[in-house]
Amino acid sequence: MTTLLNALPQANFNSKLDLAWVRSQFPSLSRTINGQHAAFLDGPGGTQVTQSVIDAISHYLNTSNANTHGQYATSHETDEIIDGARSAMADFLGCDPAETVFGPNMTTLTFAISRSIGRELRPGDEILLTQLDHSANVSPWQVLDERGVKIQFVDIREEDCTLDMDDLARKLSSRTKVVAVGYASNAVGTINDMKKIIRMAHDAGALACIDAVHYAPHGFIDVGDLDCDFLACSTYKFFGPHMGVLYGKREHLERFHPYKVRPNTDEVPGRWEMGTLNHECLAGITACVDYLAELGRRTSKADSRTTDDVRRTTRRDSLYSGYRAIQFHEHELSLRMLRGLAEIPGLRLYGISDPARVAERCPTFGIRIEGHHPAELARQLGERGIFTWDGNYYALNLTERLGVEQDGGLLRIGFVHYNTEEEVDRVLAELGSLA
Ligand SMILES: Cc1ncc(COP(=O)(O)O)c(C=O)c1O
């Protein structure tokens, strides 16, 4: 656990999630399909949004729609919306607002930094990637082989889909300039030992670039404690609108040279943002971070806190409390799911299956059932109002490495904090009847 986290007022903490309140915040959760409640088990592909996010987006379009830095009211309001989203994401990530860069999605932002870092690489330099990662944290780096850079891949341990740390240590050397690795796998749920990997990268003199897209809805992020150089995530994966956010250490955002248009200034972080941002979505990002903080406030025991305690509690403290509650709930869902999956004949779970290791995985389950194509399973579940995904979800190296790519990849069942134990039981029952 990190130093910052230890400093937080944990004695006042009640980690039980107020699930009824949580679900009431997401209007889409009340949808029905063929007379059944929709079960949104597609969070890894994109989560649902709160009414507050929807309201913030439409409020911006209704009242403040303008471009930036103009000499009139709606333009000033737009500037404030952008500043507000930057400080929300700074609280979310544990950094300075000037270290948060916005873009259309994580992939675009990662291509932006890989191109800029790539400008400084020479033939003989190396980049270390992993077989576990989403292609968005692979291809932007892999294309640098056109500069003569050697690309290496850390293998996985097939039995539990964790990174082979010995292989990582073997492939890391003073030639390695970048280690790009995911915080958590969007295909099989593995959470990597980020602090260890970042320390190893730095000891070798390499930059550590982290893809936190899959981790962000499940765990509290502290870029200071991680000491990563860059970290990217996507707000649409953690209950906000479709946008991407990049953290970069200030020294890197200042030192590396982005490809940018001439009128754009050299100020950070703006020099990394290309063209006009999606202002309405930025309004939605602040609302989404505020929702997670409110969730945290509601899980702290108000009655055990003095007025001074409440006043001292920052949005970041509340985010921490919120994620503690999220993790507590998600662990319960994972344990139930692991127990149930183990009882379905012919079912193979790819990834960590030991309930004692539940803290090492997200509630994201990649499975196959003997004799059933994943797309067919997803279709049948979809007809019953259960939304899952099938294929490789761009974790293409992984499905190839596991030898399932040519047979339809995996069926992915992904839970987030708004999912319920009833939904776990429901998908288990349906899988059991389909098996
Ligand atoms: C782990 C992971 N990384 C990166 C991405 C790409 O994110 P974006 O759609 O914001 O480019 C995804 C999207 O599914 C993902 O799951």
Q: pLDDT tens for residues 95-107?
A: 999 999 999 999 9
The alpha carbon of 107 and the centre of ligand 1 are apart by a number of angstroms equal to 7
Q: pLDDT tens for residues 338-394?
A: 999 999 999 999 999 999 999 999 999 999 999 999 999 999 999 999 999 999 999
The alpha carbon of 210 and the centre of ligand 1 are apart by a number of angstroms equal to 12
Query: What is the arithmetic mean of pLDDT over 74-92?
Result: 98
What is the reported pLDDT for 14?
55
Distance (Å, whole) CA 287 – CA 316: 14
Q: pLDDT tens for residues 393-412?
A: 999 999 999 999 999 999 99
Query: What is the arithmetic mean of pLDDT over 192-203?
Result: 98
Nearest one of 83, 82, 63 to 74, comparing CA atoms: 63
Q: How confident is the model at residue 337 (pLDDT cuts 50, 70, 90)?
A: very high
Q: For residue 250, is pLDDT > 90? A: yes
Q: For residue 235, is pLDDT > 90? A: yes
Q: For residue 160, is pLDDT > 60? A: yes
Which is the closest atom of ligand 1 to the Cα of 108? Answer: 11
Q: For residue 251, is pLDDT > 80? A: yes
Query: What is the arithmetic mean of pLDDT over 44-71?
Result: 98
Q: pLDDT tens for residues 261-286?
A: 999 999 999 999 999 999 999 999 99
Nearest one of 34, 26, 27, 29 to 381, comparing CA atoms: 34
What is the reported pLDDT for 307?
62
What is the reported pLDDT for 312?
72
Distance (Å, whole) CA 151 – CA 127: 5
Q: pLDDT tens for residues 286-322?
A: 999 999 999 999 987 544 556 666 667 899 999 999 9
Residues of the chain with pLDDT > 90, as a percent, come to 93
What is the reported pLDDT for 16?
86
Q: For residue 7, is pLDDT > 50? A: no
What is the reported pLDDT for 174?
98
What is the reported pLDDT for 5?
42
What is the reported pLDDT for 277?
98
Report the nearest-CA residue for atom 7 of ligand 1.
106
The alpha carbon of 309 and the centre of ligand 1 are apart by a number of angstroms equal to 38
Distance (Å, whole) CA 88 – CA 313: 15
Quick check: helix, strand or coil at residue 329? Answer: helix
Residues of the chain with pLDDT > 70, as a percent, come to 94
Distance (Å, whole) CA 100 – CA 87: 8
Which is the closest atom of ligand 1 to the Cα of 109? Answer: 11
Distance (Å, whole) CA 360 – CA 362: 7
Q: pLDDT tens for residues 38-57?
A: 999 999 999 999 999 999 99
User: Residue for token digits 């609302």?
Assistant: 287
Q: pLDDT tens for residues 14-45?
A: 578 999 999 999 999 999 998 999 999 999 99
The alpha carbon of 53 and the centre of ligand 1 are apart by a number of angstroms equal to 20
Residues 244 and 217 sit within 8 Å (Cβ to Cβ)? no
Distance (Å, whole) CA 47 – CA 318: 21
Quick check: helix, strand or coil at residue 293? Answer: helix
Q: How far is CA 326 from the centre of its chain?
A: 14
For residue 197, what are its two tokens? 């990997």
Protein residues whose CB sits closer than 6 Å to any atom of ligand 1: 105-107, 134, 136-137, 182, 186, 211, 213-214, 234, 244, 394
Q: pLDDT tens for residues 410-430?
A: 999 999 999 999 999 999 999
Distance (Å, whole) CA 233 – CA 182: 10
The alpha carbon of 124 and the centre of ligand 1 are apart by a number of angstroms equal to 29
The alpha carbon of 151 and the centre of ligand 1 are apart by a number of angstroms equal to 21
Stated pTM of the model: 0.95
Which of 101, 131, 214 to mutate for ligand 1's pocket (most ligand atoms within 8 Å of CB)? 214
Which is the closest atom of ligand 1 to the Cα of 44? Answer: 16
Which of 186, 233, 364 to mutate for ligand 1's pocket (most ligand atoms within 8 Å of CB)? 186
- Averaged confidence pLDDT in the chain: 94
Report the nearest-CA residue for atom 14 of ligand 1.
45
Q: Is 379 left (phi over 0), alpha (psi -120 to 50) or beta?
A: alpha
User: Residue for token digits 């090492």?
Assistant: 360
Residues 395 and 25 sit within 8 Å (Cβ to Cβ)? no
What is the reported pLDDT for 302?
46
What is the reported pLDDT for 10?
43
The alpha carbon of 63 and the centre of ligand 1 are apart by a number of angstroms equal to 32
Parallel, antiparallel, or unpaired for β 410-414 and 389-391? antiparallel
Query: What is the arithmetic mean of pLDDT over 121-127?
Result: 97
What is the reported pLDDT for 262?
93
Nearest one of 51, 104, 8 to 296, comparing CA atoms: 8
